[in-house]
Structure 1
């Protein structure tokens, strides 16, 4: 035989032998491998030359190795259609494809062939289409997990035919219809998890009461309506009941008191009415009860408080009466939140004495009497919030020893006496709010130990004595407000060295002396109010160099000398220098009638406005007739010339933008240092710096040297309707209504706007560094955006969103948070911008509101928003989490490299498969802040949790970011931009390190 023929024969024989050597189960798995995309080589060990597949990655066999019983390919980054060949393996009892990108429908015929399956987990994939009813044909199936996919349609009624099913989760899909009552026939069920689907409005099926083996019922955000059926009380083994975020009505059934095994009852954010039922003493296993954000009335039952509770949340109801004394006997109570009710009486005197109390919030009630003296007996109290009550007496001395305290809010009570000396210096406290009481004494010099203090609010009290020098040593203090007290002496020089200070309000005290030197160091100060004191000397010219100061009130003092001309550099919302002893000429920019009230009561000032400079000599009353005649002739000539000039200008302007010269159409939101109509001359193509679907953006440098950004809308401003904002408002009106009222350092400032039928203009403060998205993803982004700068941007943007969610009344949901809507100033300070689709909501955590259509940008839209059109602040939090992932990874939210994944899924899968170093932007790898980057990354992962309830609030996000920045600040040995204004005494264990970074969504 010729040599080539022999070689060919040997090759054929070797291939045949290899194929024959692999058993039948292995051949099926090889067909599975061929049908899937495997970018991470998860199936590289699947070698066709092996005799059996039992040594392959993800394949399990019994000890004899004769056949395959389980396949687990979780977190393998696999993509492609459902691998039907798996169901050819007759002995397969367990299959998990959790957290991949399986992107087809689930074929019923194929899945019904998996007759031996007992465990099936296809969660966190991209499966779509209806759920096949054929799943119910699997006779031994115990565990079915399909959550976190895109399944649509109704839950199959045939599911009632399951014979052995114990665990089913369909949460987080696109399921419609109502929850079928036939599910009540699956009497073997132990856990039924159907939450977060866009079901049609319908009742909670009474038939679920037949599931007598059920221990977990999760029906959150299922669009349930009507009453809670009494039949649920027939679930003797139920441990966890979650009916949150629905619209359930009626009262809480008295039969609930028959849940003899219950551990947690979650009913918050419904429309439940009536009183809490009596008989809770039967629920001896109950540990957590939350019926907040309903319309409950009546009193809190004594037997409920007599249980061994860990957490009791009844806030935002209409509950009245007193808090039962028995609540103080619970040995495990760590959380008690009763705010926004109508309660009264006193708090139990022993509250906290026997409990590891961490969070107490009874704000906005009518509680009176003293603050219980032992709230921090276990040394764990973190949040103490008692605002807007009638508490009286002294602040307990014991609180001064509570080193765990982070937030203390005692505003608007009737407290008196001094603040405990040690309380001023608690090292972990970042917020001390004492406003609106009758507290006395002095600010202790121990305040120097409160190095985490961020907000010190003590206005409208009777504090006296000097402001201690030590207060100026608090490098994280961003707000000090102590107006309407009796503080005396000089303003310490040390306060002028606080470059993180943003708000200083000391009005209506007895302060004296001159302005502290070095005020030009207040780089973060946006409000300065020293009105109604006895301050003297000259106003320092350095105030004019403060970059963000927009509120200046020095009225009612004894300041003298000239007004510094440098104050004209400020972009002020309010300027008040009235009732001082100022003299000389007004700076030219202030010599306008709109500033008249800013300078009244200064006899020595001169300016070209009525009421100033009364000492100027009156002109002679009599003039010769000749002079009068000359004056009339000259005036007439000038009027004629001006008239002709105006007519020509008017004629030319009409050709360009007719409506824009109507001054009555301009609307200003701040005191302007420029003429609005001057802007029109610069709306030329040479000045365009950006354009989008709604219009063009111009950079306009005005005659006074100021730069603004002007958005001119296409087609007279047809930005699209935003009917979600109430009425047929277009995006222009929403933007104006929103930004016109907001005053925050991290929200872009809208100077003014113009609104006419065929021309709409929005004039903003100019941000020299453009948008975060453009800069981050440009060639120079890596060079300019080091880690400390990225961290500062994340923190600034988080504070802006926190203001929208928690401090605006009513709260605002942005609905289009993305890196292109975060603008950067000269120092890379961040401002949240573009409020064209913003939505005013009834209140943060007040539940979702249905939108008429999807607002937002691809890659940033929260999964539940995309398919339910229901929005609350959790949608913004998800989008902000994507921005954090952008900052950490340097990648776009949508990238062809990700395939059908977005940035969120890419980060999760890459963390699982390759580790954190493959996620972090290569430009940051050598930054020296790997640990801090991991902590910020963990914040982003928490924000992008697939379930809205698992995402932290924006207030919590701000705090976690500030905690994450602590080590960076300490190790750098200097300020890294605008870093955390407060940190815990030790780094919080809540944030994950690089080694233990969370790798899957909640």
Structure 2
């Protein structure tokens, strides 16, 4: 029996037993959290007169809360967090009886006005109401009467109005969290008198005015987050004198002036995030010398002066983001010794001089972005030591010299962008050994020699730009084997020879081979309007039937010669095709025979009841049953007896299986053997022997969602079907995130991994890179996912949570609404998220809808669009959970408009 089912049955059985014993039970505490209990609140619990502590958190309980709970004379702690309780909070809870100290209703569906009557419960120490869809309402003016209150957590509760001034009377308050509401006005000026405060969280509101002075007097204050408001003015001089201050987030406000000199003396500061303001001037010179700084982001300000040499004096700096300022001078040599650095973004400043040699080779740096400066010198050979480097972005500088062969050591490199520099020499052949590279841009340099042979090994490459260099020789035909390629630009070089016919195999959105020395006949697929501008400036290229002069007899002679040549080539192709077919038939027959001969050695491990054996599966591995090929294996259709069931079989041969670092077989077996859900593809069994590994799934006759949206089938799915697919997939992901212990993160959510059965019901598939995580984010050693679907924080921080899947699913919903793929040629250089955000802002939501189906369902499609835009918000904490996404989608059909769904409230960072 699956672990989840055992938990569920145990929980239900325990609750039934409890209800039977209630008449004789005199318990002081009941702790039933996380037992997958369902149904309404068990009202019989109200008869437990001695009950002091009740915990029903993290279940699936629903319905209204009973008023009788307020009559329990001894109840001190009530924890109902993470359920589906709905309706208004009964007013009886504000009567002062029982002596309630802790009320926890986090993440439910409590509605109505914010329960101001709770300000009468003078015994309250912890009031936790966050993430409930209250109607817009203010905090009660008499909030300060809760003299014993230590924790106030009311984030995302639709709060409006000002923060009441009485809040400063809460002298025992440790944690103040009113984030993600619609509060306005100023922060109470006397907040500096709340001497017990350890944490202040007011981010994502509409607060204005200045930061109040006096915060430096809060001796216990550790965390301050007032980001994403409209706060203006200068940062108070005393702010950083708070002796315990560790984390300060003030980004996305209207702050001006300079950073106070006291910043340099902050003894415990680990995080300073003030990006997207108007702060100017330099850093205090000794900033970093006296604190264990870990993360610094002052991007998108007007700061200037040098980068402080002491930033990493504490030896803990991991994130350094200074982009879009006016910093000048050289990168300090001291930063070359900062081995803790993982993420470095210094673009669009005025930095100059050579990069310190040791800085190139920092071992843990994941992202190194230096573009848009005036940096010079060469890329040091020490870069071969940067074993964790995934993004190297150094374009638009003044770098010179040759590209070092040590680039080939960067096996995790995903992007190499070095355009608009003065690099010379040849491209090192070692670059062709980078297995994960998907973007290579070396345009606008002085590189020469031939394009490296072996470049066809870069199978993940989606963009190759070598334009405006001095490359010569021919275009490698092997480029036609990089099937992920969508952008190929080799223009303005000295390339010669013919255009390889193999390039016709690519699904190119952008192709530019203009202004070279290409000759011969243009492949027929390129003689279309789409590629009209792709071959300019190649006078030796022939279009159609070419002639050397205008004489008609000569033209006729050339045409006859061409016709004879075409017939000859056609005959040769026909003969070769027959030979190829014969070879392939014999090869597959031989392989089938080999597989069959080894059938006695197969080991079958089943995860569901099956009525077939390994011979039924192995005998289906023939050419006639081949239905698809992917990065991790070949898929066959198998019809097995006795019932004639149809199955899908994924085969991974030892010679082509994934590397040991990313073993997709082990990952899929580990994940799918344990989960049970109607919207997760079912894994029946696996078969293994010494030569081969097989995964046997339920067969999904309608293939993938991506195929129906972006192939010749595009337009077949109507909106009701698309909506149902979105809901099905959301429920599958919600199960992985909220009902599995530990949590499962898919890591490769995309339309091609959502499969459709005969009734177009959707199921999430392909768990080859899925990960289990316990509490908090997980750190990945390599990037996984597909271009256009990867969440921003995953691409740049290698730390993932469930919100990374939420972002990817948001992209899938955008596909369903717009009908466009994440990286299609008809949306230009932007990805789908940026394209939608721009068009919605400029032309309204209706402008991005799939016009083939939008006429009748425009309102529903716009609502799903709004949910999608929430899912693709730049900051992970601003995205809803998958459980909320499911509820939002259900609300659309139920006639309830989801809260906070205005497109204007869902800005997207590109």
- TM-score of the superposition, structure 2-length normalised? 0.66
Measured after TM superposition, the shift of residue 410 of structure 1 is 0.5
The answer as to whether partners of 1:697 and 1:711 remain within 8 angstroms in 2 is no
Tell whether 2:139 aligns with 1:139.
Answer: no
Tell me the distance in 2 between the aligned counterparts of 1:554 and 1:747: 33
For residues 736-747 of structure 1, what are the structure 2 equivalents within 5 Å?
A: none
Measured after TM superposition, the shift of residue 844 of structure 1 is 2.9
Tell whether 2:78 aligns with 1:113.
Answer: no
Q: Which residue of 2 aligns with 1:728?
A: none
Measured after TM superposition, the shift of residue 392 of structure 1 is 0.4
Change beyond 3 A, Cα 1:288–1:449 = same
For residues 222-237 of structure 1, what are the structure 2 equivalents within 5 Å?
A: 222-237=157-172
Tell me the distance in 1 between the aligned counterparts of 2:207 and 2:715: 48
Change beyond 3 A, Cα 1:135–1:840 = closer
Tell me the distance in 2 between the aligned counterparts of 1:476 and 1:97: 45
Tell me the distance in 2 between the aligned counterparts of 1:591 and 1:187: 80
Deviations 1:169-213 (A, max 9, x none): 122222112233321222121111111111111001122210111
Measured after TM superposition, the shift of residue 797 of structure 1 is 3.9
For residues 621-660 of structure 1, what are the structure 2 equivalents within 5 Å?
A: none
Q: Which residue of 1 aligns with 2:492?
A: 556
Tell me the distance in 2 between the aligned counterparts of 1:847 and 1:125: 22
| Aligned partner of 2:550 among 613, 618, 630 | 618
Measured after TM superposition, the shift of residue 149 of structure 1 is 2.3
Tell whether 2:178 aligns with 1:148.
Answer: no
Q: Which residue of 2 aligns with 1:385?
A: 321
Tell me the distance in 2 between the aligned counterparts of 1:566 and 1:360: 48
Q: Which residue of 2 aligns with 1:171?
A: 106
For residue 139 of structure 1, give the secondary structure of its aligned residue in structure 2. coil
Q: Which residue of 1 aligns with 2:869?
A: 840
Tell me the distance in 2 between the aligned counterparts of 1:82 and 1:132: 21
Measured after TM superposition, the shift of residue 403 of structure 1 is 0.8
Tell me the distance in 2 between the aligned counterparts of 1:832 and 1:847: 21
The answer as to whether partners of 1:182 and 1:207 remain within 8 angstroms in 2 is no
Tell me the distance in 2 between the aligned counterparts of 1:496 and 1:42: 52
Q: Which residue of 2 aligns with 1:878?
A: none
Measured after TM superposition, the shift of residue 523 of structure 1 is 0.9
Tell me the distance in 2 between the aligned counterparts of 1:394 and 1:188: 59
Tell me the distance in 1 between the aligned counterparts of 2:886 and 2:137: 31
For residue 60 of structure 2, give the secondary structure of its aligned residue in structure 1. coil
Q: Which residue of 2 aligns with 1:129?
A: 63
Tell me the distance in 1 between the aligned counterparts of 2:53 and 2:770: 47
Tell whether 2:30 aligns with 1:95.
Answer: yes
Tell me the distance in 2 between the aligned counterparts of 1:556 and 1:817: 37
Q: Which residue of 1 aligns with 2:376?
A: 440
For residue 710 of structure 1, give the secondary structure of its aligned residue in structure 2. coil
Tell me the distance in 2 between the aligned counterparts of 1:804 and 1:373: 29
Change beyond 3 A, Cα 1:720–1:451 = closer
Q: Which residue of 2 aligns with 1:802?
A: 790
Change beyond 3 A, Cα 1:813–1:588 = closer
Q: Which residue of 2 aligns with 1:476?
A: 412
Measured after TM superposition, the shift of residue 164 of structure 1 is 2.3
Change beyond 3 A, Cα 1:164–1:333 = same
Measured after TM superposition, the shift of residue 126 of structure 1 is 3.1
The answer as to whether partners of 2:104 and 2:128 remain within 8 angstroms in 1 is yes
Q: Which residue of 2 aligns with 1:193?
A: 128
For residue 327 of structure 1, give the secondary structure of its aligned residue in structure 2. helix
Tell me the distance in 1 between the aligned counterparts of 2:105 and 2:896: 15
For residue 209 of structure 2, give the secondary structure of its aligned residue in structure 1. strand
Cα RMSD of the aligned pairs, angstroms, is 4.6
Change beyond 3 A, Cα 1:494–1:356 = same
Number of aligned pairs? 672
Change beyond 3 A, Cα 1:378–1:388 = same
Change beyond 3 A, Cα 1:699–1:772 = closer
Kindly indicate whether structure 1 or structure 2 has the higher relative contact order, using CA contacts under 8 Å at least 6 residues apart: 1
Q: Which residue of 2 aligns with 1:710?
A: 713
Tell me the distance in 1 between the aligned counterparts of 2:484 and 2:7: 53
- TM-score of the superposition, structure 1-length normalised? 0.60
Q: Which residue of 2 aligns with 1:677?
A: none
Tell whether 2:898 aligns with 1:869.
Answer: yes
Tell me the distance in 1 between the aligned counterparts of 2:31 and 2:334: 55
Change beyond 3 A, Cα 1:748–1:173 = closer
Change beyond 3 A, Cα 1:561–1:500 = same
Tell me the distance in 2 between the aligned counterparts of 1:605 and 1:77: 76
Change beyond 3 A, Cα 1:468–1:90 = closer
Q: Which residue of 2 aligns with 1:294?
A: 229
Change beyond 3 A, Cα 1:193–1:41 = closer
| Aligned partner of 2:155 among 203, 208, 220 | 220
For residues 966-981 of structure 1, what are the structure 2 equivalents within 5 Å?
A: none
Q: Which residue of 1 aligns with 2:239?
A: 304
Measured after TM superposition, the shift of residue 572 of structure 1 is 1.0
Q: Which residue of 1 aligns with 2:440?
A: 504
Measured after TM superposition, the shift of residue 99 of structure 1 is 2.0
Measured after TM superposition, the shift of residue 816 of structure 1 is 8.5
Measured after TM superposition, the shift of residue 246 of structure 1 is 0.6
Tell me the distance in 2 between the aligned counterparts of 1:363 and 1:282: 28
Structure 2 gaps, min length 5: 556-647, 649-678, 680-700, 727-746, 774-779, 797-805, 823-830, 834-848, 851-860, 903-907
Tell me the distance in 1 between the aligned counterparts of 2:343 and 2:897: 36
Measured after TM superposition, the shift of residue 278 of structure 1 is 1.5
Measured after TM superposition, the shift of residue 748 of structure 1 is 7.3
Structure number with bigger Rg: 1
For residue 289 of structure 1, give the secondary structure of its aligned residue in structure 2. strand
Tell me the distance in 1 between the aligned counterparts of 2:335 and 2:240: 24
Tell me the distance in 2 between the aligned counterparts of 1:847 and 1:248: 18
The answer as to whether partners of 1:220 and 1:246 remain within 8 angstroms in 2 is yes
Measured after TM superposition, the shift of residue 823 of structure 1 is 12
Tell whether 2:365 aligns with 1:429.
Answer: yes
Tell me the distance in 2 between the aligned counterparts of 1:564 and 1:596: 17
Change beyond 3 A, Cα 1:798–1:194 = farther
Change beyond 3 A, Cα 1:787–1:334 = closer
Tell me the distance in 1 between the aligned counterparts of 2:49 and 2:266: 51
Deviations 1:681-733 (A, max 9, x none): xxxxxxxx9xx9xxx97999x9xxxx944134367x777899x9xxxxxxxxx
Measured after TM superposition, the shift of residue 508 of structure 1 is 0.8
